Structure 1
Amino acid sequence: MFSIVSLLSCFFVPILAAHSSADEPPFFQSGEYNAGEYGKYVTQNFITANVTVPRLNVNRPFTNCDDGSYLFIAPRGEVANSSVCILDASGSLVWCTSDFPGQAYNLQVQEYRGQKYLTYWAGNNSLGHGIGKYYMLDQHYELFRAVDAAGNMSADLHSFDITPEGTAVLTVYDMVFTDLAKHFRKPTVSSPSIRQAGIKMPGLPPLRPGRPSNTPPDTGWIWDSLFQEIDLETGELLFQWRASDHYSFGESYDPLRVATEQKPWDWFHINSVEKDAAGNYLVSARHMRCIAYISGEDGRVLWQVGGRANSFKEKSAGRATNYIGQHDAHWVPGSNTSITFFDNRGDWTYHTEQKSMGTRIELNFDDMSATLGKHYAHEKNVYSVSQGSYQTLPNGHVVLGYGNNGVMTEFDEDGNILCDAYFEPSKDWTSGNVQSYRNMKFNWTGMPKTSPSLELHEGALYMSWLGSTETDGWLLLHSSSSNGSFKELLSFPKAGFETRYEFEEDVQVREFVKIGALNKDGHLMAISYPVSIGDRATVAANVTYPPEAGEFDDLEDDYEADEVLELEETLEDLEVLIAFALLAGISTFLVCWLFLGLRMFRPLRTLKHRLLGFCDDFSKSRVAQVYYAASTQTAQRLSALLVSVSGGRRWMYRSLEADDEHELSASSSEFSGGPP
């Protein structure tokens, strides 16, 4: 078994290895990058991991905003292959995969029953919404659950929110053949106190029909927007809301051109839903240009901000209630009066200004008014015609993802840009070449069950452990055979995602090597498979190891080392506890002796006197008397038992007859050696 002390000390030995990061560093304010001179989607590959990840062009490093969290993006587009990736603050890879069907959206970290999970959607996105599933991966990157919508429908890509109650709220699109003329004529079914009961709100625009100038068909196909709340454990449908049950088609801002089965009319376009502590739902509708508050009891529209049936008086010259194509609406954490969202400021048919921004608005329910709280705008006036995200961090900072542009930016509370990076040349913005539906930051602990990867390439060793957030250094082990005893050689810090090590001349190494992943405390977490370095070995197989080399031959798997270390730590804790108890006992004795002297033994003398009855002769003491009495009683009982077995049952025996006495006498004489 290897030496624990040797292993821990190995982490702190002087660095002997010529090691460096094999990662290609991010660009920094590169004009050539933005001009597309390195390509439409600049990526990097690795020796030890079969993944392709974006190479960032950093304007303001995210290391300036390093709060211990990671960057979560899901690149895809006309030239970018779809993937979901986690990067650290420097832009180095942590984890990435393209192992899913179709396209991927909406990579986040969410909590379910006290555990953190990666969640993302994957499926067919060709219709402007999604037909697919949501996937939940645990901290080992293993599939925990694939979540679909209820009622034989498919989960949409736009929104998937896990609630504290263990349910999930997700968006759904349903293709329906309907009476278009009837839905244009019907009044909206919403809060009667504000919208349809005849109560006039000062400053509210009148309800205007959204019917296009050309004559639409009386019947046709639509994409109806729904959201569902389901039980994640059972898949049971708990609540469902359908837009056409509560809104008139006349409120839509999307022109009705066709409504065929091949191309249904997407009149509402739900793109986010969030359940609040009151049990109601906050919904963003892109083609209605509004954010609506839906009753969790009966689905009524309690109020909406923006849109043709806006419920609030505008107090900021239109900046609080007029927006176009918005996404990702949420309550500010801990508030029920502040709402945030990504305001695209345009859609595929209309825009006011080519500048998207994050927006926070304040609602006053006493006078039903809305006020602009803050705009968060990029200095380069990034304009995203679709998608986008707004995230409020625990420290109050705001992270914007620019949807169909590969841009991610972090602002302080006052709207100043702190960190900013591109994964698409700026000249190609709005092209759709590189997109990411939402770009966000989360804390995450990744603990893969795979082994670290080790490869020999062009004379150097390359090592990585895809998905591990805890690896802080590497321990190099060597042996003369692939299944032999591996010994410690040297250790060095991790550098980037993929670390490169080139052997120096003074390092004596055997033919087979492994790499062990060390955490920040120097504990061994996992070990790679062996790799032969061939003629680069400098120690012959018959040369013995130095006595200080640690043993690793008894490792049955990659995790035994960590289990042994945990056992050692437990034993050390037990030793400390015993030592503390002993020290406490000695301290108590000394304190008592200091203050009481011989008086501290008085209880012992009292006990002695009680036992001996104040008699120096033990045989006359109470203890002896009790002992003797008990012994006498026991002897009497044994005697009675013997009597009952022998003398008390004389029928078991008979008296000796004359012949018997003669035989007994003869036997006795023979035994004694006398005459017959």
Structure 2
Amino acid sequence: MAHPALQKLPTSAPVMNVTKNGKTQPGYIFLSPYDALKGYGFPAIYTDDGELVWQGPPGSITGFQTQTLNGEPVLTYWNGTVSMLGFGYGSIHFLNQTYDEIYRVTLSDGNRTFKTAMGSQFPSYIDVHEDAITNRDSVLVTAYNVTSADLQSVGGPKDGWIYDGQFYEIDIVSNDVLFSWSASDHLNLSDSATPLAGSGNNQSNPWDFAHLNSVMRYGDEYILSAHGYCSVYALDSKGDIKWTLNGQTGGDFKLGAGSRFCFQHAVRIESQTNNTITLRMHNNDNAPFLKGTAATTGLLLDLDFDTMTASLIRRLWDAEEVVYPVTQGSYQNLTNGHVLLGHGAVPKFEEYDDAGSVVMRARFGYDNIMSSYRTFRAVWSGKPTAKPSVYACLAKYNGVEQVRVYASWNGATDVQSWDLYIGNEKDKLQKATTAVYNGFETEIRLQTSSKYALVNAVQISGSAQSEVVQIQGSC
């Protein structure tokens, strides 16, 4: 990781321990490592070999990924305030290839109709769970409003309280709400798979009955995942439920062998034919109130609308390192039949080949301390407008005094080498050597009595110089 003088951010990126057993697909790894002990994290891009490429601004970051907006690649992530139960109140950030923010989507509450378990008001009420760009330049987000509800049907009080799971479609440019949906208006409380467990008695301890955690646009309709119901719903353009796939009872479908699931994340439609829809999901099969004995898997299911059956197409898990995350996770289809599974609360992800073999596994922290809500792989070209960074200092190696230079350029993806310039006057530096690019931070050593140094990043598309720095007295 970066030399302390180069690392201006308040936290360092976690070390990525990578094991490869085969050929992986092209692209960088995108994740949002969150340190529970420090209470914050950041968006981060890594290479396949676990080398940091870009470390973004600190915060409570989730959902970091690449998407397409107006035909151009963008980075998106959520940032805000996270509650103890994993909900949040924040905004969606959109960055271009230079890492400059171009849009920020918020969900304000001028009428103060939103209530929170914390009793606080926030400038934006978008939750942590979704930031999916649609084909009409809008973004789908979730939100949670604490509201009163009659809980007698589930053994709770008449004057009870719930987290009402909601989702919104918001225009990215204007920030106008295009569509909204509320779980309490469409789902029966008694069908929830989530026990009250002492919650629901007051506003500060509401019952999380639905826990919406992913939504995608499907033509003029929506596909919604309700973790708390172990269910996937298809909604028409008005928000009415067209069909339900319940991972325990089947809902409107008959479950085939191996197609059961529960407490799932990141549900997406992968493909469709005239009478079949293929769904993919991260099947946690665990929740915080369970003992965590079911192995988490990635599932690919076919829904046949002629026979109304759900059939297992693919089930993926790492038999050598089985995981049991109780929250979060992702399933991403790559090219050539490869799949990337991220495990959320467990700081681990794997890539599988078309035969289901693990070709790459990586860990980036300890369980229950480090996490990343979702993990993705994507091709990316980073073009930072900020200058490269450099630090130079004196050190002794085998009794010989030398200058050590540390060169880095946060987010650049096409640096080939570094030209080092040194001299005794700031404006009269001479090229001393060229070093091949060697990861996020390249170390250059040489013997010199010079006082100043700068580096020039040599790229495929050009070059960029750092500021001139004074060589420090000691490393």
Could you say which TM-score interval applies, normalised by the shorter chain? Answer: 0.7 to 0.9
Retained in 2: the 8 A contact 1:358–1:375? yes
Tell me which of 411, 419, 423 is aligned to 2:364.
423
The one-letter code of the counterpart of 1:137 is L
The one-letter code of the counterpart of 2:282 is F
Q: CA deviation at 1:71?
A: 0.9
CA 1:363–1:45: 2 relative to 1, 3 Å: farther
Report matched runs for 1:572-587 at 5 Å.
Answer: none
Report matched runs for 1:608-627 at 5 Å.
Answer: none
Report matched runs for 1:497-576 at 5 Å.
Answer: 497-504=440-447, 511-520=451-460, 523-524=462-463, 526-533=464-471
- Name 2:130's counterpart in structure 1: 159
Q: How many pairs are equivalent?
A: 443
1:465 aligns with 2:383: no
Tell me which of 3, 8, 13 is aligned to 1:53.
13
- Name 1:451's counterpart in structure 2: 387
Tell me which of 28, 32, 42 is aligned to 1:70.
28
Q: Distance in 1 between matches of 2:292 and 2:262?
A: 8
Report matched runs for 1:635-646 at 5 Å.
Answer: none
- Name 1:602's counterpart in structure 2: none
The one-letter code of the counterpart of 2:76 is T
Where does structure 1 lack aligned partners over 5 or more consecutive residues? 1-22, 24-43, 185-210, 537-676
Report matched runs for 1:192-231 at 5 Å.
Answer: 211=154, 215-231=155-171
Retained in 2: the 8 A contact 1:243–1:268? yes
Question: 473-482 vs 408-417, which deviates more?
Answer: 473-482
CA 1:535–1:290: 2 relative to 1, 3 Å: closer
Q: Distance in 2 between matches of 1:360 and 1:416?
A: 16
1:338 aligns with 2:278: yes
Retained in 1: the 8 A contact 2:32–2:64? yes
- Name 1:371's counterpart in structure 2: 311
Report matched runs for 1:72-221 at 5 Å.
Answer: 72-79=30-37, 81-100=40-59, 103-126=60-83, 127-149=85-107, 151-152=109-110, 154-181=125-152, 184=153, 211=154, 215-221=155-161
Residues 64-115 of structure 1: CA deviation (Å, up to 9, x unaligned): 4151x11111112433642221111111111113433xx2111111111122
Q: CA deviation at 1:410?
A: 0.3
Q: CA deviation at 1:230?
A: 1.1
Tell me which of 200, 204, 211 is aligned to 1:269.
211
Retained in 2: the 8 A contact 1:401–1:438? yes
Q: CA deviation at 1:164?
A: 1.9
- Name 1:438's counterpart in structure 2: 374
Q: CA deviation at 1:146?
A: 1.8
Q: Secondary structure at the match of 1:235?
A: coil
Question: 439-448 vs 304-313, which deviates more?
Answer: 304-313
CA 1:59–1:79: 2 relative to 1, 3 Å: farther
The one-letter code of the counterpart of 1:71 is I
Q: Secondary structure at the match of 2:228?
A: helix
1:358 aligns with 2:298: yes
Retained in 1: the 8 A contact 2:404–2:446? yes
Tell me which of 333, 349, 358 is aligned to 1:392.
333
CA 1:333–1:125: 2 relative to 1, 3 Å: farther
- Name 2:194's counterpart in structure 1: 254
The one-letter code of the counterpart of 2:346 is N
1:283 aligns with 2:224: yes
Retained in 1: the 8 A contact 2:421–2:431? yes
Retained in 1: the 8 A contact 2:341–2:375? yes
Q: CA deviation at 1:53?
A: 1.0
- Name 2:323's counterpart in structure 1: 382
Report matched runs for 1:586-625 at 5 Å.
Answer: none
Retained in 2: the 8 A contact 1:324–1:351? no
- Name 1:636's counterpart in structure 2: none
Retained in 1: the 8 A contact 2:222–2:235? yes
Q: Distance in 2 between matches of 1:84 and 1:503?
A: 35
The one-letter code of the counterpart of 2:14 is P
- Name 1:403's counterpart in structure 2: 344
Task: Please say which structure displays the higher CA radius of gyration.
Answer: 1
CA 1:267–1:513: 2 relative to 1, 3 Å: same
Retained in 2: the 8 A contact 1:283–1:293? yes
More strand as a share of residues = 2
Q: Secondary structure at the match of 1:250?
A: helix
The one-letter code of the counterpart of 1:348 is P
Question: 527-536 vs 170-179, which deviates more?
Answer: 527-536
Q: Secondary structure at the match of 1:261?
A: coil
Q: CA deviation at 1:489?
A: 3.7
Q: Distance in 2 between matches of 1:293 and 1:46?
A: 50
Q: Distance in 2 between matches of 1:513 and 1:66?
A: 39
Residues 362-385 of structure 1: CA deviation (Å, up to 9, x unaligned): 110111111011110112211111
Tell me which of 158, 170, 175 is aligned to 1:235.
175
Residues 247-301 of structure 1: CA deviation (Å, up to 9, x unaligned): 111110111233111111111110000102x2111111111001111112x1111
Q: Distance in 2 between matches of 1:137 and 1:131?
A: 20
Q: Distance in 2 between matches of 1:376 and 1:363?
A: 18
Q: Distance in 2 between matches of 1:344 and 1:179?
A: 30
Q: Distance in 2 between matches of 1:346 and 1:243?
A: 22
CA 1:531–1:352: 2 relative to 1, 3 Å: closer
Q: Stretches of 4+ moved more than 6 A in 1?
A: none
Percent identity (aligned): 28
Q: Distance in 1 between matches of 2:179 and 2:127?
A: 16
Q: Secondary structure at the match of 1:332?
A: strand
Q: Secondary structure at the match of 1:370?
A: strand
Q: Distance in 1 between matches of 2:365 and 2:6?
A: 25
